[in-house]
Structure 1
């Protein structure tokens, strides 16, 4: 049975973490102290439950808590070797743990354990950080809160910060919390409700003071030419720039992107002070660990053409990398971790919005959310005073902290298709849906394109949330619709790496029964459709400079001549030769083009369900429900081909194991001798 103290802590944490005005995603931590029986001695022992390393307050569960003995934790004060050996204390926390399991203690554990309060909250609210990063934050703290909230000068998170806060609470009995310079807030209480109430009072009081006392235009006046573009125009421009921006963010290692055109971002970029403030970078450690110390800002007006931006980008990228290398070299010591990469994680484009980047979509999205937090912080600080983040040397000490490096090294090995973004056509059912599901399971972000948008969205929701899969409309026979689908993919995930031409239909008719309309329909969807998708996708793949994969789901019918199938088989042969032609043309850009030749896939197939199956069964003189078995018996292996078999082949083609393979057609037909490739 869960301890009531723990239940109250989880509930408080979830409430606080659910509202972004209280803290950012995965930011901050909460704790509670109480007693339990020691199973060894039978005596009551005082324990502390505290959010462990990683995790998110809004979704915190009991398994995400570290459980420590308060007496042993506080005894560490007797062996604390000082700030020069701060990192050793995190390892020492392990010797204070109670029982088995639970999360690993975080660097903030001392802040909770050393403070003489039963319940402690440490949060990163925008309003609180605005006070914490104001040039005269100490004066503002006293003016806003009186003696109820105390200023704590910047100190890197750790054991000494815990000692500082504990001393301040002891010296200020009327205080309910403190503002941590450059960082955030900490509040406490004798009960869980009291701690939560005090946290919210600090946040709401700070926000109200900023609203009442801020100067009218903290970011300066709007610059002529930097005004926000109309929505349709800015999203079109964002999609056009996305491949080149991803190339900038991925020079060291491939990244997934996220696009934000919120009013907060667009207003900031339209104002005269945005270049100065962006150059100062973020301050709260949670912010800059995910956004890098500063963004790359495109220093051109919103009225600049796409070509002008593309022409300017290489120079801006080169300067950003040089600045980052210089930053690293200014502060690195012999024992600093190696530089992790010099590319930006945040790219700001006036009039258009922000692209943020990360190892996956969630990381990229959260990085963007953190930069929005940083903009809010800058607005608050500038409105009351001047924004004064912690200095560069302190940022470096945290960014390249050995503890942060150890956390990165503990991260699980990425999946085979991590950082790759796929577009699968005809993916709301059958083979396409199986391919999308397999690619997502292997780490890719997937855009599920289908003529039926509702079915596409339903298929996407089955696979995962919007950080994993999105459903989009796509009529592959229409070039504008194809371009729109690719643009939507770029805005969803920042780029494109894998394209699967799977959309198709089939009309099983003899030569004399096949009409001109039948012929045109088959060729429009598969031959022309594959051409249009490949053409528009290839532009993106080339501009990204990351290579890529184009896969055609052709058919054994591309080489096998069967009766009553003239239009379908002819268009599949067209697709098969497109594979060879594009492999020869796109290879210089590192783009591989390959095909899959399945036998008839009956299970889950939209084609077979729409009448094709009945016609093929009639051709072979068998019941429609036996069609799959019939196909299996005519193969060498006597096995029915199912959608997952095709998905397996697509996955393998897109892995590093076949990174030297292009122009290949892989039969997935259980062995049809007449369809052997020659």
Structure 2
């Protein structure tokens, strides 16, 4: 490695380390917010000549998890030459496409809109961040004066300008004209800092952030959101979360009027205190300010205007009224500012719903998007508190918010997103998902884009499967005995708090008792029926309640059995309860169809390998009945089928996906055999 390559790799390494440190602390910037850069020497891959390069965080990346693959790499001579051909503010969006002509080699990640800011500023290292303390000053009515009071001439005020090439030119000019400055506060936006070394740049960023924090703490009034409103304080935790679970399906249905959404619930003290205070209606109506905030939260939230202990039915009725009004107001906002070339309205539903005494519900195309939207609104509350503490919160004009929200560049960014998977936005609850068929179903549904509630009597197994699926943004584990109404409701409440509700339920939990009639006890019979017949009834009843409240339709799938239609020896309790489940499919399909809820079944047979039931003793019992070694039972079952193929848990999971993946939208009351062909079990 020559000297230039060593320097290049050192610059990249320092940049990534600095970015991760800054991004790891939420006081410094929000998730996926801000960008960092470093400049250094490199070699032209064609001529071998030395060139000056810039590495900058690319579009859509996150500082806290930044890797080299997330950096855009550009030639500085070409980037800076663009200043001479920029056609002006009205056409500055055209400059984004010009960045492609500045890329070095393969160029790395796609350059972001802030690339010009980093390239045009004459400093080796630049940080652009969105700290709550900095945005509080940036969104205060007298932000320019407060910035001067807080920093003197060390940090310069930059009036609001939409991110883009001209903002880069503005900041470059400020840097030239203020050689003593270490950075600037961008009105309505965030901060930018610079330095000649990575260490100096990081120190300057932190100095601005911590100085702003100290200034707000020292000079701010103690209760900037006003006094507590009687009746609007937080409910006790258990009552609060129970009410949140009760509201969640209704709210998710409202937030999904235009397109299905996944939900997230947060009852952080920050938002609970905000909603308890007298000024929260005024401030919430003003909306968020930082572009990173309102792109995810929309311009303003929907806020329930009833006390925390209002009757639940009254709260729901009022929320429906407020939702209708919100949609009308959002459509009017779009009409006020849309031009003939504006993108079409993307939907008029709120992304944030605030319930006094309970907390915040946030929504997005997946769990991570919903969770991050909530995190951004918490940032916005912190910004409001800081601005109100020392001045008054004054976000950018509504017309500017619209220009950001319906920016052609933002629309192009959305168009580049990968096509959603078949089960994207759907929330599935699978019983008996800790092992065997249930585990395979959970894995398949998650792979197809669903959020999954892994329900199992074995708590440890459920947690392990949830972790395998990807953790909290994909799956949560719940411990549930399906014979317990209370535990079933708790499982659905957990689903509501984690993801907003439930759209797809798989009744898979079960046991199997293989005995001749004369050896089958009443206890055997009751246990078999309690777990599978009664348990699936109880799960389906709660599923139907949630799905009807959501108003989004849904799917209920029963994992029944070939034995539900074909009699075999020595399993009276098991086969009878499977027949019960099979008829539940028919009965519920007929009853729930008017709500758009489809109910179907899968009839497996001979699932030996990977099966929790067979491993728990059923395999040994059935092997004894048929007179074959237990290890050969799967092969035995395969040889008695038409296809002569062994059935695995994954094959059952495939059938569940076939029923729920969007192709069989007009199918209900169906049982799909997954038995490799057993003629005696043919349904028709």
For Structure 1 versus Structure 2, the TM-score category normalised by the shorter chain is over 0.9
The correspondence for 2:407, drawn from 401, 418, 422, is 401
User: In the alignment, is the contact (CA less than 8 A) between 2:124 and 2:197 conserved in 1?
Assistant: yes
The correspondence for 2:334, drawn from 319, 322, 328, is 328
- Provide the residue aligned with 1:532 in structure 2: 538
Matched, 1:508 2:508: no
Cα distance in 1 for residues equivalent to 2:523 and 2:109: 64
Residue 42 of structure 1 and its aligned partner are, at CA, apart by 2.3
Alignment of 1:250-649 (within 5 A): 250-649=256-655
Cα distance in 1 for residues equivalent to 2:24 and 2:314: 42
User: In the alignment, is the contact (CA less than 8 A) between 2:45 and 2:105 conserved in 1?
Assistant: no
1:656 alignment partner, SS class? coil
Greater shift after overlay, 651-660 or 40-49?
Answer: 40-49
Structure 1: stretches of 5+ with no match in the other structure: none
Cα distance in 2 for residues equivalent to 1:102 and 1:325: 39
- Provide the residue aligned with 1:153 in structure 2: 159
The correspondence for 2:78, drawn from 72, 86, 107, is 72
- Provide the residue aligned with 2:245 in structure 1: 239
Cα distance in 2 for residues equivalent to 1:284 and 1:180: 10
Residue 311 of structure 1 and its aligned partner are, at CA, apart by 1.2
TM-score, normalised relative to structure 1? 0.99
The correspondence for 2:108, drawn from 91, 102, 109, is 102
2:106 alignment partner, SS class? coil
Cα distance in 2 for residues equivalent to 1:675 and 1:96: 67
Cα distance in 2 for residues equivalent to 1:187 and 1:421: 43
1:412 alignment partner, SS class? coil
1:658 alignment partner, SS class? coil
Cα distance in 2 for residues equivalent to 1:452 and 1:77: 64
Cα distance in 2 for residues equivalent to 1:484 and 1:42: 66
Cα distance in 2 for residues equivalent to 1:647 and 1:7: 44
Cα distance in 2 for residues equivalent to 1:618 and 1:494: 47
Cα distance in 1 for residues equivalent to 2:633 and 2:385: 66
- Provide the residue aligned with 1:139 in structure 2: 145
1:657 alignment partner, SS class? coil
Cα distance in 1 for residues equivalent to 2:351 and 2:459: 32
Residue 574 of structure 1 and its aligned partner are, at CA, apart by 0.2
Residue 55 of structure 1 and its aligned partner are, at CA, apart by 0.9
Alignment of 1:82-97 (within 5 A): 82-97=88-103
User: In the alignment, is the contact (CA less than 8 A) between 2:73 and 2:108 conserved in 1?
Assistant: yes
Greater shift after overlay, 582-591 or 300-309?
Answer: 300-309
User: In the alignment, is the contact (CA less than 8 A) between 2:74 and 2:107 conserved in 1?
Assistant: no
Residue 674 of structure 1 and its aligned partner are, at CA, apart by 1.3
Greater shift after overlay, 304-313 or 265-274?
Answer: 304-313
1:662 alignment partner, SS class? coil
The correspondence for 1:40, drawn from 41, 46, 60, is 46
Residue 207 of structure 1 and its aligned partner are, at CA, apart by 0.5
2:588 alignment partner, SS class? helix
What do the CA deviations read for 1:473-507 (whole angstroms, capped 9, x no partner)?
Answer: 11110111100000001101011100000000011
Residue 267 of structure 1 and its aligned partner are, at CA, apart by 0.6
Cα distance in 1 for residues equivalent to 2:469 and 2:516: 39
Cα distance in 2 for residues equivalent to 1:536 and 1:653: 21
What do the CA deviations read for 1:139-161 (whole angstroms, capped 9, x no partner)?
Answer: 01000001100000000000110
Matched, 1:57 2:73: no
What do the CA deviations read for 1:436-472 (whole angstroms, capped 9, x no partner)?
Answer: 0000000000000000111101111011121001111
Cα distance in 1 for residues equivalent to 2:167 and 2:479: 53
Residue 603 of structure 1 and its aligned partner are, at CA, apart by 1.1
Cα distance in 1 for residues equivalent to 2:578 and 2:522: 17
- Provide the residue aligned with 2:4 in structure 1: none
User: In the alignment, is the contact (CA less than 8 A) between 2:606 and 2:638 conserved in 1?
Assistant: no
- Provide the residue aligned with 2:5 in structure 1: none
User: In the alignment, is the contact (CA less than 8 A) between 2:137 and 2:143 conserved in 1?
Assistant: yes
Cα distance in 1 for residues equivalent to 2:317 and 2:327: 17
Residue 604 of structure 1 and its aligned partner are, at CA, apart by 1.4
Cα distance in 1 for residues equivalent to 2:92 and 2:48: 35
1:579 alignment partner, SS class? helix
What do the CA deviations read for 1:317-351 (whole angstroms, capped 9, x no partner)?
Answer: 11000110010000000000000000000000000
Residue 600 of structure 1 and its aligned partner are, at CA, apart by 2.1
How many pairs does the alignment contain?
678
- Provide the residue aligned with 1:19 in structure 2: 25
Greater shift after overlay, 394-403 or 451-460?
Answer: 451-460
Residue 68 of structure 1 and its aligned partner are, at CA, apart by 0.8
Cα distance in 2 for residues equivalent to 1:305 and 1:654: 36
User: In the alignment, is the contact (CA less than 8 A) between 2:644 and 2:676 conserved in 1?
Assistant: yes
Matched, 1:193 2:199: yes
1:435 alignment partner, SS class? helix
Alignment of 1:667-678 (within 5 A): 667-678=673-684
Matched, 1:249 2:255: yes
What do the CA deviations read for 1:233-257 (whole angstroms, capped 9, x no partner)?
Answer: 0100001001110011000000000
TM-score, normalised relative to structure 2? 0.99
Cα distance in 2 for residues equivalent to 1:613 and 1:656: 35
What do the CA deviations read for 1:153-199 (whole angstroms, capped 9, x no partner)?
Answer: 00000011001101111111110000000000000000000000000
